[in-house]
């Protein structure tokens, strides 16, 4: 018993002693390590073997602006913030909504876009929160969609999936009545299966930001300064228009 407690204390000490790389250390190394999921189209996804998407291009532009090479790391969505706490990479860009819960564990950059969680169903399916009563709703695990859907009273069943694409597949195959996901992602998904899906109401709004290890203020400052430059020099607008046909920055 005493031994276990000692071992646990040692582990905790080790974990907290491990330091995130500061801006100076990252700069000196010449390469920044960025983590994402790679299954959240059009924000971060794979086109064959190539990691791409709005957030990938934006983070690549940030790194370029900061004079750094990028090493991309992909992880299941649910592991991303844990790996950040373990110093496996310098920051995460994976459409994380800024929430008080998450802000206890990580620091957030300024938001890189504003969006919300919206319902998607088959034509004739549920379109509003009230319509979800008695229905089966699917969402990706560890997301703000899950948190918000849980607040709606009367839903028959909320099923979670490791990947958002699997939640969508469950809706398509009739295992669920509704899927809640990002409003821009939903529009993109609907376009890819013409006539099969429709978007319903926006259930909540959120600001999306990059996550940095708690206390790594030197890096957060650089990311914010770089994002702001790209928002002012046309790079952000160009990327946003390319992926969404509109500018999705927070207004
Ligand atoms: N915006 C939602 C959240 O903050 C979902 C993010 C999902 N991201 C992803 N790469 N699958 O939880």
* pLDDT tens-digit readout, 9-45: 554 444 444 689 999 999 999 999 999 999 999 999 9
pLDDT of 19: 83
Whole-number Å distance between alpha carbons of 61 and 230: 8
Close Cβ partners of 65 (under 8 Å, ≥ 6 residues apart): 226, 229, 230
Whole-number Å distance between alpha carbons of 103 and 214: 9
131-175 tens-digit pLDDT: 999 999 999 999 999 999 999 999 999 999 999 999 999 999 999
From the CA of 175, how far away is ligand 1's center (Å)? 22
CB 201 within 8 A of CB 132: no
CB 209 within 8 A of CB 112: yes
Q: How confident is the model at residue 7 (pLDDT cuts 50, 70, 90)?
A: low
E strands, the chain, in order: 31-36, 39-40, 44-47, 50-52, 69-74, 91-97, 106-121, 136-140, 157-161, 178-182, 198-213
CB 59 within 8 A of CB 43: no
Close Cβ partners of 156 (under 8 Å, ≥ 6 residues apart): 134, 135, 136
pLDDT of 1: 47
Mean pLDDT of the chain: 94
Q: Is the ipTM here above 0.95?
A: yes
Whole-number Å distance between alpha carbons of 25 and 19: 11
CB 118 within 8 A of CB 203: yes
How many other β-carbons are positioned within 10 Å of the β-carbon of residue 161? 17
Tell the residue nearest (CA) to atom 11 of ligand 1.
Answer: 40
pLDDT of 9: 52
pLDDT of 6: 52
pLDDT of 193: 96
Q: State residue 45 phi and psi, 5-degree precision.
A: -160, 170
Tell the residue nearest (CA) to atom 5 of ligand 1.
Answer: 143
Domains and CATH numbers, the chain: 23-114+208-244 (3.40.190.10), 116-205 (3.40.190.10)
Is ligand 1 within 6 A of the CB of residue 81?
Answer: no
37-87 tens-digit pLDDT: 999 999 999 999 999 999 999 999 999 999 999 999 999 999 999 999 999
Is ligand 1 within 6 A of the CB of residue 55?
Answer: no
Is ligand 1 within 6 A of the CB of residue 148?
Answer: no
């Amino acid at each position: 018993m005493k031994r276990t407690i000692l071992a646990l204390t040692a582990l905790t000490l080790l974990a907290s002693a491990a330091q995130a790389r500061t801006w100076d250390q990252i700069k000196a190394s010449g390469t920044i390590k960025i983590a994402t999921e790679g299954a959240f189209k059009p924000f971060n996804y794979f086109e064959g073997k190539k990691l791409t998407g709005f957030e990938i291009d934006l983070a690549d532009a940030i790194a370029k602006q900061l004079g750094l090479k990028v090493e991309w790391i992909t992880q299941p969505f649910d592991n991303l913030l844990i790996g950040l706490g373990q110093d496996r990479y310098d920051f995460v860009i994976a459409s994380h909504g800024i929430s008080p819960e998450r802000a206890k564990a990580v620091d957030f950059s300024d938001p890189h876009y504003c969006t919300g969680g919206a319902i998607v169903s088959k034509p004739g399916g549920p379109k509003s929160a009230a319509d979800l009563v008695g229905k089966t709703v699917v969402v990706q695990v560890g997301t703000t969609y899950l948190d918000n859907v849980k607040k709606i009273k009367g839903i028959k069943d909320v099923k979670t999936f490791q990947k958002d694409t699997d939640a969508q597949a469950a809706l398509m195959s009739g295992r669920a009545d509704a899927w809640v996901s990002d409003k821009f992602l939903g529009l993109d998904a609907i376009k890819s299966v013409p006539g099969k899906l429709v978007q319903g109401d926006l259930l909540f709004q959120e600001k999306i930001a990059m996550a940095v290890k708690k206390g790594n203020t030197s890096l957060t400052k650089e990311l914010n300064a770089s994002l702001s430059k790209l928002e002012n020099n046309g790079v952000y607008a160009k990327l946003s228009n390319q992926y969404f046909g509109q500018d999705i920055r927070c207004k």
